[in-house]
Structure 1
């Protein structure tokens, strides 16, 4: 599967005005009336077909998208509307080709320059009229291409470890500690608004470590777009999960709600995918808060959660090691 971002970066979908300007810049002059009309009809056909070729490329890309990328796209765009927009362009391309075939023969039968000019105007008008119907759709398609170009590049055939948890639990700090990614880190919730990919070196191999936006303990129907991106990663990407618990007094939700969220994540993963639970921020949180988190987790069936500081590489690498070990055991079973 190609990386959609690398493909999208090479796709430039024109606006309707760009197509119009291209035609104006190349309009034939200093030739006979018949030749000018013939060339102008061919020009409009060639520009419409040529300039909208990227829409054909985009359509092929979308139809081959991995479910994870399709989910991300569907969160921000109406996929049915996008398909209609692309179909409109396909019709404009096909019509331009058909009209060129029919009107060039009509020109041959024109009995006067006036008739030739009328035939040319009609042909060009019909071609551009169809494309103009797609003008708003072209703008939506352009936005979709821009969105795709900004997506993270993930190779689903290689090891993936997803870091999840509530907002401000230290996921981005964890990612920056063990990988080459540098996500934004700030002392307020929902700093991470998109899925970010880091690459960690582990025992001579490269592991893709996925930073996800924070999740609240609520039904998917109540989630905002940021949370839905995290949910898409958990549901559509293969791999293990490291779930961070925040025992600090500044946590965005009480430990009981974090454990409830953990149970939601576990139900998403099912029995087949490993999950490592780590209590973060033990470097400065009072010990009794860590103990309270341990007790809550034990009641949920997590008897030995890791205790880490996301700023300490050794502790983070141990969490990564356990996650990858879980993946290895899954592949061996």
Structure 2
């Protein structure tokens, strides 16, 4: 194993330090549990009070869920920088602001990738021209595959890098530019880091969740009463109702435990994303951000140039005799009486 790969493994092993950050864990797990609870409530309210109320509560649930993830990310950035973590309330509202930036950046990323796909499709139409179509297919298919490869890389690798860039204080264009720069300039390094992160975390997570599934099944079976537990005098309806209530309560309890354990490993992944971003971003000059800003400035100037100009309202002339202001339609001056 090369020295560089060994260094990467040593760096990424730090991702398990996230388990010591109880504030980030509470933020992430709380956002997941509360968000799921609000989503369930949204489904119930949609059936009783209408679809609009359900959709509104579902939107709130999504915001709480995403704010929990981004708030935990902000707390993990504080931990990675070795400074005291910000307050819980500040992290939550910071997570809301980060959620807005992330959604806007992802929207711009989706639009950019859509434009690339449209351009490639239009170029592919040249391959259908009779006679010379195969020549265009030969010249364009290979480069098109490379372009698509980088597009998929931006989606798969750039999205977590974009998240960390937002947590690091970058704006919408800045975070998008950083993610694109890393994927375009250091693609193999980025892929190596994320593969190593998966190998470090995924086997442990799968093993723990598998054991938890087995133990959860055994625990839930203890709270699911059999028919013989109620005696001969109990009715069938009562036995079924009691058994279902016990099993339902046990399922909710086990579900919360599963959510917390999943949040634990998600926290480890998030801290690993920060390690990967800091390693790849070190010493990397940002050119994509400046190009994005230049493109948006040019677009804004074009819009300003073609915006309709407001015409000034016609002003009524003043009186020739005394100079008093007249209103349209006046035949005589109200001050001196002279005919206009």
TM range (shorter): under 0.3
Larger proportion of helix: 2
TM-score by length of 1: 0.22
Larger proportion of strand: 1
Structure with higher Rg: it is 2
